[in-house]
């Protein structure tokens, strides 16, 4: 898989082999920029072989411009001089499944400390009119919010000892950054999935004959529950499944059986009325015997006020270069009816 990494030897060569204690302010800023670029670089996970081949072809043809210390996105800034931009890696992958569930509200650059999740009910009505007849304007109301989501600030600190630089212990720096990256995403997923689990037993779906029938019933019930709330769902809305690893095998087997006519006959598997778009697994879920069918997006939203920003300072008492990361975000669920919690079996 393609990933991104800091080129520590090139950085040391650029500063003449000196440890951070002897660096200029500009050289320290370059270190912060490289760390920021690594931590913000796109997740290296590739879904399947076909996607991998396309990704390899795309990267080879176009290259990658890593975001620098001031933020940005790939392709909008010059590559960081200390980033290795193309290599095959076995980097550990963070849990990003929640991004499929929550619709992003981009609050970056806004001077508001919150956003609202508003009622989906729409008063827009379509009716036949005669030529020249005036159409009625739907009432506009900005006070129909069901939930106000305020930003939360998160910080974490890491450090690099001078001796790591002096004796080229670059693997220790890679380990520190990788753990920083993984624990950062772990905190996000804990909050995102924790909100879903906090919905409790009020979203339970009863077992019915087999797993596929139970999943299908959950999809149908969600559609029925939100039908009169102005969502404007398509005729075949897509759903996501969120489950702990302990439930994945049974869920995957049930869904695979839908495409196997022999399994359908042997197991008496019924057809499913709706599309399951993603099966998301996460160890963050505490109940290992339940899973969720989710109508993602709509009134399930996440807000980002500040992307990860790194700041650096010198600690002369520890002979180390220390960095503090800061970001601001939050999650909100405005309608519990978009979720159903299912048992993995009827027993």
**Measured CA distances, 338 to 129, 196, 290, 295, 318 (Å):** 35, 10, 16, 5, 51
**Measured CA distances, 12 to 35, 137, 312 (Å):** 14, 65, 18
In terms of Cα–Cα distance, which of 268, 296, 257, 343 is closest to 104? 296
pLDDT of residue 254: 87
DSSP symbol at 97: G
* 192, 234 Cβ separation under 8 angstroms: no
| Percent of the chain residues topping a pLDDT of 90 | 49
What CATH number does the domain located at 95-347 have? 3.90.1690
pLDDT of residue 121: 61
Model confidence pLDDT, tens digit, residues 141-165: 655 778 999 999 999 999 999 999 9
Q: Give the separation between CA 83 and CA 64, rounded to whole angstroms.
A: 10
Note the pTM of the prediction, 2 decimals.
Answer: 0.80
Q: Give the separation between CA 64 and CA 72, rounded to whole angstroms.
A: 13
Model confidence pLDDT, tens digit, residues 82-107: 655 444 444 456 788 999 999 999 99
pLDDT of residue 147: 92
Q: Look at residue 127 and tell me whether its pLDDT is greater than 90.
A: no
* 300, 102 Cβ separation under 8 angstroms: yes
203 Cβ contact partners less than 8 Å away, ≥ 6 residues apart: 336, 337, 339, 340, 341
Q: Look at residue 73 and tell me whether its pLDDT is greater than 80.
A: no
Q: Give the separation between CA 296 and CA 214, rounded to whole angstroms.
A: 19
Report domain extents, the chain: 1-93, 95-347
């Amino acid at each position: 898989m393609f990933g991104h990494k800091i080129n520590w030897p090139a950085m040391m060569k650029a500063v003449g082999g000196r440890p951070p204690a002897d660096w200029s302010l500009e050289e320290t800023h370059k270190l912060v920029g490289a760390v920021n670029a690594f931590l913000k670089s796109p997740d290296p996970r590739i879904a399947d072989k076909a996607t991998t081949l396309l990704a390899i072809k795309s990267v080879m043809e176009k290259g990658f411009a890593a975001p620098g210390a001031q933020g940005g996105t790939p392709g909008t800034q010059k590559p960081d001089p200390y980033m290795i931009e193309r290599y095959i890696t076995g980097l550990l992958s963070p849990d990003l499944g929640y991004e499929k569930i929550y619709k992003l509200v981009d609050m970056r650059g806004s001077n508001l400390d919150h956003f609202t999740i508003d009622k989906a009910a729409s008063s827009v009505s379509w009716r036949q009119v005669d030529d020249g007849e005036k159409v009625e304007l739907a009432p506009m109301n900005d006070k129909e919010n069901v939930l106000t989501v305020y930003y939360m600030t998160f910080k974490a600190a890491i450090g690099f000892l001078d001796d790591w630089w002096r004796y080229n212990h670059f693997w220790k720096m890679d380990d520190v950054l990788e753990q920083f990256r993984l624990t950062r995403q772990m905190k996000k997923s804990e909050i995102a999935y924790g909100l879903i689990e906090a919905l409790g037993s009020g979203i339970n779906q009863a077992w019915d004959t087999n797993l596929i029938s139970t999943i299908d019933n959950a999809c149908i019930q969600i559609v029925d529950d939100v039908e009169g709330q102005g969502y404007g769902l398509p005729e075949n809305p897509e759903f996501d499944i969120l489950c702990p690893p302990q439930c994945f095998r049974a869920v995957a087997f049930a869904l695979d059986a839908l495409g196997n006519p022999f399994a359908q006959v042997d197991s008496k598997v019924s057809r499913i009325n709706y599309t399951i778009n993603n099966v998301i697994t996460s160890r963050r879920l505490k109940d290992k015997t339940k899973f969720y069918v989710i109508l993602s997006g709509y009134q399930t939203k996440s807000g980002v006020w500040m992307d990860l920003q790194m700041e650096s300072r010198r600690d002369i008492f520890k002979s180390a270069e220390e960095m503090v990361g800061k970001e601001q975000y939050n999650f909100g669920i405005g309608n519990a009816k978009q979720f159903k919690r299912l048992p993995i079996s009827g027993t």
